[in-house]
A and B are shown apart, each in its own frame.
Chain A
Amino acid sequence: MPETTSLGSGGSAYWTVGDDIADTAAPDGPIETRWDRRKFSAKLVNPANRRKHTVIVVGTGLAGGAAGATLAEQGYNVIQFCFQDSPRRAHSIAAQGGINAAKNYRNDGDSVYRLFYDTVKGGDFRARESNVYRLAQISTQIIDQCVAQGVPFAREYSGLLDTRSFGGVQVQRTFYARGQTGQQLLIGAYQALSRQIDAGAVEMHPRTEMLDLIVIDGRARGIVARDLVTGKITPYLADAVVLATGGYGNVFFLSTNAKGSNTTATWRAHRRGALFANPCYTQIHPTCIPRSGEYQGKLTLMSESLRNDGRIWVPKQKGDTRSPDQIPEAERDYYLERIYPAFGNLVPRDIASRAAKYQCDDGRGVGPGGLGVYLDFADAIKRMGEDKVREKYGNLFEMYERITGEDPYKVPMRIYPAVHYTMGGLWVDYDLQSSIPGLFVVGEANFSDHGANRLGASALMQGLADGYFVLPPMLGNYIASTKLGSVSLDDPAVTSVIGEVTGRLGRLLEINGDRTPDSFHRELGELIWDECGMGRTEAGLRKALARIPELREEFWRRVKVPGDSGELNQSLEKANRIADFLEFGELLCIDALHRAESCGGHFREESQTPDGEALRDDEHFAYAAAWEYTGGAPVLHREPLQFDYVHLAQRNYS
C-alpha cells in the first residue's frame, strides 16, 4: 500500500506495520445465505455434553446478559461477572431512544437489504458487509424474542407495535419503550438471566471485576477477578471466555457512559494478545446537556429521538446574548435544515455534532461559554399539542429540567456534543472470536458492525444479536471443534497472572503521592477531547502522544490511593481502571494519527471536502486497522475491506 502523507499508514516511530490479516470465518458467495451457511458448517455440541463445558461471560449488559442466559438455557455451565451490585445495572440500562429492526411493519419500503445498506453507508464504508448483513437479518428475530419476554414496547391503539425514525434514515424502523428502551430490553435479558441463576445454570458474581485474562497454550482459559467487597483475588477457569464489557468512551473522562464503564477487560486482553481494532472510531453524540462546571462528573445524553420533533438552531448574529424568546424567527439559523435539506435535523450523528461545533467555534453558540445550540420544541408543541409531546418525550424533558433547572416546554433546550459510543473494540472474526482462540467478544466491546460511525438505535440491536443469536452457535462450534486439555489452578500461567494482578494493585497503594486518581483521569480526558475529539490534526495528535507517556509516568509516581486492597475500596478500583486508560489512550491517538483520512466519527481536519465534510481516502484506508500489542510501538495489521454489494461512495446527506 502506498503512503498517503509523509506519515501515511506506512509506519513511523509510533508504530510499525505487520502482515495483512483476513476474516477467514466468513463464508463468501451470496450475502443473503452466508449466515445460514456458516451455521450449517459449524460443529454442534451434543446437548448432553454441554454441561461438561464451562464458559465465562464477563459483563451483563445487553450483549452479556443475552449471551449468559442463552448459553445457560442451552446447557452450558456459565460463570458470569459484573462490577455493579446487580446484573440489571449494566450501562445498557441507560439507552434511551430505541432499537432498529427491519420488520417493515409500516410498509414504508424497509427491508433487510435496506437496513444493511443504511448501516454500511452510515458506517462510512468501514464495516464488513458480511457482518452487517447478518445483523440486519437477525434484527427481526430480536423484536420477537423481546416481545415474548414481556418487553413493553410502545404500541398503537391497534395493539400493534409503534415505530419511529431515528438519525440518518428515512424509514420508521425504530422500536422503542418511551425514552427508556435500553432499560426495558436489559430488564428482559436480566430476567432471563435471573431465571438461569435461580436454576443454578449461571454462577453469578456481581461486584466482581475482571482484572486480567488467563491464556494457556495460546487459548483463553480463564480470568483473574477481584471481589470488590472483600478485595479477594480469585482465578476462574473455563473452556472459553466471552467479553461483553462495553465500550471505552470514558477514556475521555466526560462522556455519556456510566461512571464505571472502563476498558480494563478489553485492554488486558489486548495486552495478552488480542488485536484491538479501529480505536479511533469514537462517536460524539450531538444531543447532550452542556457541561455546567469544573466539578462535572459525567455528561447526560438527551435521546436523539428528540431530533424527530425538535428543531436545532443558533442565532444568526455572533455573540448574541438575548434570551431565545427575544430572537425573532428571521434572526435564527436552523442550520441543519438549511445545509442538509433532505435530512434536516435527522442527519447522522457525526455530521450533526460537527455542525454544532462549527457554529460554536464560529461564535454563535449559546449558554455558558458559548458551548451549546438550541433544540427547540415550540413548533412541535404548536403542531401536536403539549400532551402529545409529553407522552413522547416526557421523561427526557423531566430529566433535562432536573439537571438544568430549566423547563424545556417553555425554553428551548441547550445541547452540545459529547462522547457517547465507541465503534472500535477488540478485533473479532465473523464468529465473534478474537485473535486469541477461545476468547469471544460481543456488544460494544468488539469492533464488528458499525464501521466508522454507528447509526442510532443500532447498538442495542447489535448487542442483542451478538448475545442471543450469533455467539451461542459459534461458541458451540469452537468447543466442538477444539480439543481442550484440562488446566488446573496451580498452572504456572495462572499463578503468574495472579502475581501480576496483585503486584499492580500493591504498587498503586504504595505510591501514596499527592494527586487523586480522578485528577489524572480528568487531565487525560481533556487532552484526548482536545486533540482526538471531534476534529483531529496531525499536530494535535503528536502533542497528545508526547504528553500521554509523561502523564502516565506522573500517575505512577504521584497518585494517591487510600485504604488497602483487602476491602471495599472505590479509589483503588478507579485508579486501576485509569492506569489502563492511560495506556489505551495512547493507542487511540496512534490509530487516529495513522488514519490520515476522515471517515465517520474520525474527522482528520487535513482531509475534508471544500464544504467541510469528511473526505475518505478509499484507495489507502479501506481497511480495518487491527493493532498488536508489543509493549513498545504497536504493530498495525490491516484487514482490507471489500464492498461487493454497496457501492463505495462519498456519503451525501444534503
Chain B
Amino acid sequence: MNLTLRIWRQRGPEDRGAMVTYELADVSPDMSFLEMLDVLNERLILEGEDPVAFDHDCREGICGMCGMVINGQAHGPRDRTTTCQLHMREFADGDVIDVEPWRAAAFPVMRDLVVDRSGFDRIIGSGGYISVVTGSAPEAHSTPVPKPIADAAFDNATCIGCGACVAACPNGSAMLFTSAKVTHLNLLPQGAPERESRVRDMVAQMDEEGFGGCTNTGECTVACPKGIPLTSIGNLNREYLRALTKR
C-alpha cells in the first residue's frame, strides 16, 4: 500500500519542530510500524537526509522504549498494543498518518520522536522498591501469598514504563504509572513495612517532576498497552490517604 506520513521533525531540545510530509510506497501490511519507519529511514539516508530519530529496542512490546502518537493516539489505533507491535495491516492504502512524539510538560522532546522520560526513573527511585539487602532474604516459601493477591500484584507489575498514559492525559499526569507500582508493591506482604513511606515519597516525586494532576478523564488507561486499570489510581488515592492519616 501507499501512505502519506506526516512526521514531527525537531533537531534538538531547543529547536522548534515541524511536521514534515513523506510519501512512502509499497508498504507491506505484514510490516510492523517501526519496520515501516526503518524503510523510510533507509531511503532518507541514501537521499542525504537525516533519518527520523525514534526510540525502540526490544520490538516485542516489553521494554517500553518505543512510543509515538499516531493519528492522535498514543501507540496508535490498536488496543493494548505498543508502537513496535502495531502492524501496518491496521492501516489502509492511501492513508495519511500523523506521527508525533509524546507531548507532556514532564517529557521534553530531545529529537524528532525521542523524549526524555527520566522522571519515571526518579519516581521509582523515590520509593518504588522493597528494601532488601542482597543475601538477607528469608526462604521464599516462608511467606505464602494468596494467589489472587499475587495475580493482582503481577497485573500491576506488568507496566512497561512507556509513558503512553502521560502522553494521553490532557493534564500530563503520571498517576497511572505511579499507581501501578504502588499497587504492585503495597499489595504484597513483602511490601508492607514501607507501605506508607512508599506512596508518600512517590507522589511527592511525581509532583516535583512536573507531572500534572489527575482529573479522572480515563484517557491513560485507554492508551495503556498493558491494560493497567483505573482502579489502580483509586487504590493509589486510598493508599495515599491512609498514609497521610497514619503519619
- Chain A positions near chain B (C-beta within 8 angstroms): 66, 69-70, 73, 84-89, 91, 93-94, 103, 105, 141, 143-145, 147-150, 152-161, 177-178, 180, 183-184, 187, 190-192, 194-195, 197-198, 204, 206, 229, 258-260, 292-293, 295-298, 300-301, 398-399, 402-403, 405, 468-469, 472, 514, 516-519, 560, 562-563, 567-568, 570-571
Contacts and interface: CB of A to CB of B under 8 A. Distances in A.
- Top 8 A-B pairs, shortest CB-CB distance: A159-B144, A198-B125, A148-B137, A191-B129, A152-B154, A194-B125, A144-B137, A147-B140
Contacts of A153: 150
Contacts of B64: 86, 88-89, 93
**Size category of the binding interface on chain B:** 35 or more
A136 to B, nearest CB: 17
25 contacts: A70-B134, A85-B118, A88-B121, A91-B57, A91-B63, A105-B141, A145-B135, A147-B140, A152-B188, A155-B144, A156-B147, A158-B144, A180-B62, A180-B158, A195-B129, A206-B121, A258-B58, A297-B34, A402-B85, A469-B135, A514-B46, A562-B48, A567-B111, A568-B53, A571-B51
Contact of B157 (A85, A147, A187): A187
Nearest to B30: A292
Given A155-B150, A160-B141, A563-B50, A194 B190 contact: no
B211 to A, nearest CB: 16
B28 A293 contact: yes
Nearest to A191: B129
A194 B128 contact: yes
Nearest to B145: A159
A568 B46 contact: no
Interface stretch (B37-45, B166-174, B214-222, B228-236): B37-45
Interface of B: 11-12, 28, 30-32, 34-36, 38-39, 42, 44-46, 48-51, 53, 55-65, 78, 80-81, 85-87, 89, 110-111, 114, 116-118, 120-122, 124-126, 128-141, 143-147, 150-151, 153-154, 157-158, 160-161, 184-185, 188, 190-191
A156 B110 CA distance: 46
- State the majority secondary structure of interface residues on B: loop
B222 to A, nearest CB: 18
Contacts of A562: 44-45, 48-51
Contacts of A183: 62, 158, 160
B182 to A, nearest CB: 12
Contacts of A93: 58, 62-64
A472 B133 CA distance: 13
Given A155-B150, A191-B129, 16 more contacts: A85-B118, A86-B121, A94-B60, A149-B130, A149-B132, A149-B137, A150-B130, A150-B188, A152-B153, A152-B154, A180-B158, A191-B130, A194-B129, A198-B122, A296-B35, A516-B42
A69 B135 CA distance: 12
A570 B53 contact: yes
A176 B51 CA distance: 40
A363 B247 CA distance: 71
In this complex, the member of A105, A259, A398, A560 whose beta carbon has the largest number of chain B beta carbons within 10 angstroms is A259
B135 A403 contact: no
Contacts of A198: 122, 125-126
